[in-house]
Amino acid sequence: MDLFNDTRRTTDGIRVGIGGWTYAPWRDNFYPKGLVQRRELEYASRHVGAIEINGTYYGAQKPATYAKWRDEAPDGFVFSAKAPMRIMQSRQLAMTGPQVEDFVGGIAELGAKLGPIVWQFDAGLRLDRDAFAAFCALLPAQAGGHRLRHVLDVRDPAFVDADYLALARRHGFATVYTDSPDYPSFADVTADFVYARLMRTRGDIATGYPDDELAAWAARARLWAAGGEPADLPKLEAMPAPAMPREVFVYFISAAKARNPAAAMALMARLAQGCP
């Protein structure tokens, strides 16, 4: 019999998750006492709706590793993943097709559990517009018989403008909404899904966020999923996105990381109960 209660929830197309699953402080406030490390993914994937894999940013894994993760997570669970930084930091960005193909071919082992792939361009990278456009054209629409969803996370404020949004829309790529003062923060919708990274958890609050802020995020997630756009989030353009149902991914990342699982589960509970 499964030792874990499967409390993951996907409510109205909204998935709530965390970044990674191996973090020592979680062994004191998230994982059951005595749970062996090799079972942490099994446990985490039954208590949140998605996990963003950060380790792939530092190096792609072997296909067998992705297959192992796939098999440890339950049906209906989704992994997002950061692409390897060596691709985004290449001085010949428009020529990275083989590296893109190699990474995508491996991570396709996640099968139906593969969620959005995040292409993170850190602040300080000098991006050429033409090379960036050529790079976007390299990103495949599918792999292993599954649709691929791509997310652009450009952290150079000077690059993030109307032309950037138009390029993302042309390809059907999402752009990250980052709730942080440290990175460009804008909520323009550019795809048929929304990708939000919440980075303001506080260590002195058991659920990471106070109740009123969790309520606000529940309302925003529902509005995104229903085809609308939150009026209280910053945008680069006034033009509204086409109204259509969307899948929504909300991740609690960084900040007071020890609180992120509790924050995710608190938001999932609100969504499942229909709480504001």
Instruction: Write the pLDDT tens digit of every residue in 79-89.
Output: 999 999 999 99
Q: What is the pLDDT of residue 262?
A: 98
Write out pLDDT tens, residues 108-148: 999 999 999 999 999 988 899 999 999 999 999 999 899 99
**CA-based nearest residue to 210, from 256, 177, 250, 176:** 256
**CA-based nearest residue to 187, from 206, 160, 211:** 160
Domains, the chain, ordered by start: 14-273 (3.20.20.410)
Q: What is the pLDDT of residue 225?
A: 97
- Other beta carbons within 10 Å of 240: 12
How far apart are alpha carbons 140 and 142 in whole angstroms?
Answer: 6
Query: Residue 144 burial by CB count (10 A; 0-12/13-18/19+): exposed, middle or buried?
Result: middle
**CA-based nearest residue to 54, from 260, 254, 209:** 254
How far apart are alpha carbons 58 and 44 in whole angstroms?
Answer: 22
Two structure tokens written together for 63: 């296909």
Range list of H helices, 80-228? 85-88, 97-107, 129-138, 162-171, 211-226
Q: What is the pLDDT of residue 205?
A: 97
Q: What is the pLDDT of residue 5?
A: 65
Q: What is the pLDDT of residue 12?
A: 82
Q: If DSSP codes are grouped into helix, strand and coil, which group holds residue 170?
A: helix
Q: What is the pLDDT of residue 239?
A: 87
Q: What is the pLDDT of residue 274?
A: 77
Q: What is the pLDDT of residue 1?
A: 33
Q: If DSSP codes are grouped into helix, strand and coil, which group holds residue 226?
A: helix
All residue ranges of the chain with pLDDT < 50 are 1
Two structure tokens written together for 80: 């997002």
